[in-house]
Amino acid sequence: MNSEELMAKAQEWIALYGLKLVAAILILVIGRIVAKLIKKLITRLMERGNVDKTLIAFTVNLVYALLMTFVIIAALGQLGVQTASFVAIIGAAGLAVGLALQGSLSNFAAGVLMIIFKPFKVGDFIDAAGTAGIVEEIGIFTTQLKTPDNKQIIIPNSSVTGGNITNFSAKETRRVDFVFGVGYGDDLKKVKQVLQDIVDADERILKDPAPTIGLLELGDSSVNFAVRPWVKGADYWAVYFDIMEQVKVRFDEEGITIPFPPVPGVGIRHLNR
Closest to 115 in 3D by CA, of 146, 161, 153: 161
Closest to 236 in 3D by CA, of 196, 176, 146: 176
Same-domain pairing of 178 and 159: no
Same-domain pairing of 177 and 193: yes
- The pLDDT of residue 267: 46
Domain assignment present for 113: no
Domain assignment present for 114: no
Domain assignment present for 46: yes
CATH number at residue 34: 1.10.287.1260
The DSSP output letter for 1 is -
Same-domain pairing of 156 and 182: no
**Total domains in the fold of the chain:** 3
Same-domain pairing of 140 and 185: no
Domain assignment present for 106: no
- The pLDDT of residue 23: 80
β pairing state of 223-228 and 178-182 = antiparallel
Domain assignment present for 108: no
Last residue of a domain, one of 167, 196, 223: 167
Same-domain pairing of 151 and 188: no
pLDDT per position as a tens digit, 52-99:
676 677 778 778 888 888 888 888 777 776 666 666 666 666 666 555
Quote the domain boundaries for residue 157: 119-167
Same-domain pairing of 162 and 177: no
pTM above 0.75, yes or no: no
Q: Evaluate the omega torsion of the peptide bond into residue 148 and state whether it is cis, within 30 degrees of 0.
A: no
CATH number at residue 144: 2.30.30.60
Exposure b/e, 57-90, CB count within 10 A at least 16 = b: ebbbeebbeebbeebbbebbbbeeeebeeeeeee
- 225 with 214: CB under 8 angstroms? yes
Domain assignment present for 107: no
Same-domain pairing of 52 and 128: no
- The pLDDT of residue 137: 86
Tell me, rounded to whole angstroms, the distance of Cα 268 from its chain centroid: 35
Same-domain pairing of 52 and 131: no
Same-domain pairing of 11 and 82: yes
Q: Give the residue, 83 or 248, on which the prediction is more confident.
A: 248
pLDDT per position as a tens digit, 94-121:
666 555 555 677 888 888 788 778 899 8
